[in-house]
């Protein structure tokens, strides 16, 4: 899969494709249905399938502090899109210049001049352009003028409810990982590099791997039974994800993972943490002694849940 960062990096060879546009946060079952349709039209027309995404996501640009938590970072999203058979991703920087494009300018600069789109697959509630003035009807009319077809993606439902990133965030917040797996088509996981942290866990007799999140907000909060994959090997563990209210921190979410019955150096390695079950909410303790006792209780609970 080819990644193109910005309109300025599009070349004549990139013109002529079928495309879809969106955040694709989580690349869940609803997104996967759109991508399946994209592949169908790609095969029919003999053209590459292109996904147009934005960084940051629009709501993160307009209101970063209140934007919904990311389900997937850009790197993970690209891996998931590649697994769905996407040929090309055009990643547009969502900035003032892009925000101020009218709907007509977006169609002309991105879809027509940039990509030479022959078919466009979007949700029927898709809005774009300055003040979100462009909609599905506008795209249909634009397609007639510029020579591309437009199709509305069918809504994917589970138990009568639409599968969406918003619903998935709520399901994760509720700790329903079985339903999350059904909506995603895979278990929910977070991948990041193990970084040096405060090393407080080591002093508390609970060494943890500090996994880089690169998020302003995390989709989970609390202590969980997890499995972790490092260097192709799976390990059973317990993880805390949150702002660590007992110790003075930076106010950002952190993911700390303790691997049960493991001894080794994890610094610098990429770890994929899969969440299976919530043990408790994150809480503030009055002392480090109380925190240490709670951590050991969490380890015992995780061991019992793992059957160790």
- List all residues 6 or more positions away from 10 whose beta carbon is below 8 Å from its beta carbon: 4, 90, 114, 115
CB atoms within 10 A of CB 303: 15
pLDDT along the chain (308 residues), means of 10: 96 96 95 95 97 94 92 96 98 94 95 97 85 89 96 85 94 96 96 78 69 89 96 95 72 90 88 96 80 88 92
Q: If residue 304 lies in a helix (H) or strand (E), which one and from where to where?
A: helix 288-306
Q: What CATH code is carried by the domain that includes residue 157?
A: 3.40.50.620
As a whole number of angstroms, the distance between CA 178 and CA 168 comes to 11
With tokens 């909060």, the residue in question is 221
With tokens 């920087």, the residue in question is 93
- List all residues 6 or more positions away from 112 whose beta carbon is below 8 Å from its beta carbon: 146, 148
Quick one: 137 and 234 in the same domain? no
Angle subtended at Cα 292 by Cα 290 and Cα 293, rounded to the nearest 5 degrees: 65
User: Considering the domain boundaries, does residue 251 fall inside one?
Assistant: yes
Question: What pLDDT score does 106 carry?
Answer: 95
Question: Peptide bond preceding 56: is omega within 30 degrees of 0, i.e. cis?
Answer: yes
Quick one: 130 and 270 in the same domain? no
Tally the residues of the chain: 308
Quick one: 40 and 92 in the same domain? yes
Quick one: 143 and 208 in the same domain? no
Query: Token pair of 165, please?
Result: 């990133």
Query: Token pair of 10, please?
Result: 């599009």
Quick one: 155 and 196 in the same domain? no
240, 222 Cβ separation under 8 angstroms: yes
Quick one: 155 and 222 in the same domain? no
Question: What pLDDT score does 181 carry?
Answer: 97
- Residue 13 structural domain: 2-162
Q: Which residues pair with 17 in a beta bridge?
A: 117
Question: What pLDDT score does 35 carry?
Answer: 96
Quick one: 228 and 154 in the same domain? no
Quick one: 25 and 62 in the same domain? yes
Buried b (16+ CB within 10 A) or exposed e, 32-62: bebbebbeebbeeeebbbbbbbbbbbbebbe
Question: What pLDDT score does 116 carry?
Answer: 97
Query: Token pair of 1, please?
Result: 């899969």
Quick one: 154 and 6 in the same domain? yes
Question: What pLDDT score does 258 carry?
Answer: 93
DSSP string, 149-170: EEEEEPPPEETTEE--HHHHHH
User: Considering the domain boundaries, does residue 173 fall inside one?
Assistant: no
Question: What pLDDT score does 215 carry?
Answer: 85
Number of domains in the chain: 2
Q: What CATH code is carried by the domain that includes residue 243?
A: 2.40.30.30
The whole-angstrom distance between residue 252's C-alpha and the CA centroid of its chain comes to 18
What pTM was estimated for this model as a whole? Answer: 0.90
Quick one: 128 and 214 in the same domain? no
Quick one: 196 and 250 in the same domain? yes
User: Considering the domain boundaries, does residue 172 fall inside one?
Assistant: no
Q: Is 201 left (phi over 0), alpha (psi -120 to 50) or beta?
A: alpha
Quick one: 41 and 140 in the same domain? yes
The four Cα atoms 159, 160, 166, 167 give a dihedral, to 10 degrees, of -30
């Amino acid at each position: 899969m080819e990644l193109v960062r910005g309109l300025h990096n599009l070349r004549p060879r990139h013109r002529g494709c079928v495309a879809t546009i969106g955040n694709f946060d989580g690349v869940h079952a609803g997104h996967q249905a759109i991508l399946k349709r994209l592949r169908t039209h790609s095969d029919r027309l003999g053209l590459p399938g292109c996904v147009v995404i934005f960084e940051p996501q629009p709501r993160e640009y307009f209101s970063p502090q209140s934007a919904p938590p990311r389900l997937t970072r850009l790197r993970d999203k690209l891996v998931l899109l590649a697994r769905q058979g996407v040929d090309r991703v055009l990643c547009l920087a969502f900035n003032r210049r892009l925000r101020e494009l009218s709907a007509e300018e977006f169609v002309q600069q991105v879809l027509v001049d940039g990509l030479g789109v022959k078919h466009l697959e979007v949700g029927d509630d898709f809005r774009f352009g300055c003040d979100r003035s462009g909609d599905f009807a506008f795209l249909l009319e634009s397609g007639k003028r510029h020579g591309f077809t437009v199709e509305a993606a069918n809504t994917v439902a589970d138990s009568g409810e639409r599968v969406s990133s918003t619903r998935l965030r709520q399901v994760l917040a509720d700790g329903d990982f079985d339903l999350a797996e059904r909506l995603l088509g895979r278990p929910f996981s977070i991948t990041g590099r193990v970084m040096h942290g405060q090393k407080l866990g080591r002093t508390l007799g609970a060494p943890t791997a500090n996994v880089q999140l690169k998020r302003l907000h995390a989709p989970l909060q609390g202590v969980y039974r997890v499995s972790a994959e490092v260097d192709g090997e799976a390990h059973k563990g317990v993880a805390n994800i949150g702002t660590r209210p007992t110790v003075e921190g930076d106010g950002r979410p952190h993911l700390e993972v303790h691997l049960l019955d493991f001894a080794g150096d994890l610094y610098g390695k990429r770890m994929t943490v899969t969440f299976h079950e919530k043990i408790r909410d994150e809480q503030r303790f009055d002392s480090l002694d109380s925190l240490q006792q709670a951590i050991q209780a969490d380890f015992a609970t995780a061991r019992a849940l793992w059957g160790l």
